[in-house]
Chain A
Amino acid sequence: MGKFLRLTDKATNKTYTLEFNRKAVETMERQGFNISEFAEKPMTTLPALFRGAFLMHHPAIKREVVDNLFDKVSNKRELINKLAEMYTETLDVLLYDDENDENEGKVEWEASF
C-alpha cells in the first residue's frame, strides 16, 4: 500500500486524505511543478506540493480551502518532508526493485543519521 497521510481540520472537523497517484504528479508537472526546484524556490514549490496532494482524493476542493489549510497546518517542515517522500514514491517504485537488486552486496553503505 502506498504512503498517504490524513489531515484533520479541527475548525470544520473535516478529514482529508493526502496521497499522490501518477495522474496527480502528471497534472502538477503540466502546471509547472518541478520537484528539483524544491530547495531553490521553496515559497512556490511547497504550497504547490501541498495542493497537489489533494488531487487524488479531493479533486474538486477549492484552492482557497487548501491554501487556508496550508497556512494553519502545524509542523510544516515534517509535513513537507513526508509529502516529498510520498511524491517521489510514485517514481521510486518503478525504478527500484528490492527483491531483485543486482548490485546487492557489491558496494555497501551506511548513514550516520
Chain B
Amino acid sequence: MGSELLNEAPSHSPKTFTEMFREAFPFYLSIGMTYELFWLADATLVLDYRKAYRISRERANFDAWLQGAYVYDALCAVSPVFHAFAKRGTKPVPYLSNPYPMHSKKKQNEKLSAQEGAAKFYAFAAQFNKRFETKST
C-alpha cells in the first residue's frame, strides 16, 4: 500500500545550484541587479531587490490607473459636445484646472481646516460672551 508513491520515477533530473542560479540570473539583471551583486555579494540581497521591484510595479500600476482617471475626466468634460442631439452653442466643461491632490496634501489641508474651524469657534465664542458682558453693564 502506498508503493505507487515510491515507485514513480522522478519527472525531471535534479538541477545543480549553479544551474538554478543561472536560470534566475537574467530576471535579476532585468530588475537592476549587477553581476557583482548577484554572484559576489550577500546572497539575501535578492529579497530586497524583489521587494523594490514589487513596489515599482505597484507604483506603475497606480500611475496607469491615474492616467485612466484623467482620461475618463477629460472624456466626461468634453462629452456634452459629442452628444448627437446637443443644442447649438453647447460648450465642453472645462478640464480640471489642477491635478488631483496627493494624499499628504489632503491630510495637510484637513489639519489646516480643523485649526481654522477651532479658531473661528473661539472668535465666535469670544464675541458671543462679549455681547453678554456689554448687556450686563
Instruction: Give A residues with C-beta under 8 Å from B.
Output: 1-2, 20-23, 25-26, 29-30, 34-36, 56, 89-91, 93-95, 97, 99-100
Task: Check if B126 is an interface residue, CB within 8 A of chain A.
Answer: no
Contacting residues, chain B, for A22 (C-beta < 8 A): 17, 21, 38-40, 43
* Extra A-B contacts (10), CB below 8 Å, given A25-B18, A91-B17: A1-B42, A2-B43, A2-B44, A21-B43, A26-B17, A26-B18, A29-B17, A34-B16, A91-B21, A93-B43
Interface size bucket, B side?
20 to 34
Question: CA separation between A18 and B40, bound complex, in Å?
Answer: 14
Interface residues of B in 62-98 (CB under 8 A from A): none
Contacting residues, chain B, for A36 (C-beta < 8 A): 14
Among B18, B20, B38, B43, max chain A CB count under 10 A is at B43
Question: CA separation between A49 and B14, bound complex, in Å?
Answer: 20
Please name 25 pairs of A and B residues whose Cβ atoms are closer than 8 Å in the assembled complex, sorted by A.
Answer: A1-B42, A1-B44, A2-B45, A21-B41, A21-B43, A22-B17, A22-B43, A23-B39, A25-B17, A25-B18, A26-B21, A26-B39, A29-B16, A29-B18, A34-B16, A35-B17, A36-B14, A89-B44, A90-B17, A90-B21, A90-B43, A91-B17, A93-B46, A94-B24, A94-B46
Among B18, B50, B51, max chain A CB count under 10 A is at B18
Contacting residues, chain B, for A99 (C-beta < 8 A): 51
Question: CA separation between A99 and B47, bound complex, in Å?
Answer: 10
Main secondary structure of the interface of A (DSSP, over half): helix
Question: CA separation between A35 and B21, bound complex, in Å?
Answer: 15
Please state if B42 and A21 are interface contacts (CB–CB under 8 Å): yes
Taking the closest CB of chain B, its distance from the CB of A81, in whole angstroms, is 18
Please state if A97 and B50 are interface contacts (CB–CB under 8 Å): yes
Query: When A21-B40, A23-B39, A26-B39 are in contact, do A93 and B47 touch as well, CB less than 8 Å?
Result: yes
Among B39, B42, B51, max chain A CB count under 10 A is at B42
Question: CA separation between A25 and B47, bound complex, in Å?
Answer: 18
Please state if B42 and A2 are interface contacts (CB–CB under 8 Å): yes
Question: CA separation between A100 and B54, bound complex, in Å?
Answer: 10
Query: When A22-B21, A25-B21, A29-B17 are in contact, do A93 and B41 touch as well, CB less than 8 Å?
Result: no
Taking the closest CB of chain B, its distance from the CB of A57, in whole angstroms, is 11
Question: CA separation between A29 and B17, bound complex, in Å?
Answer: 8
Among A22, A35, A95, max chain B CB count under 10 A is at A22
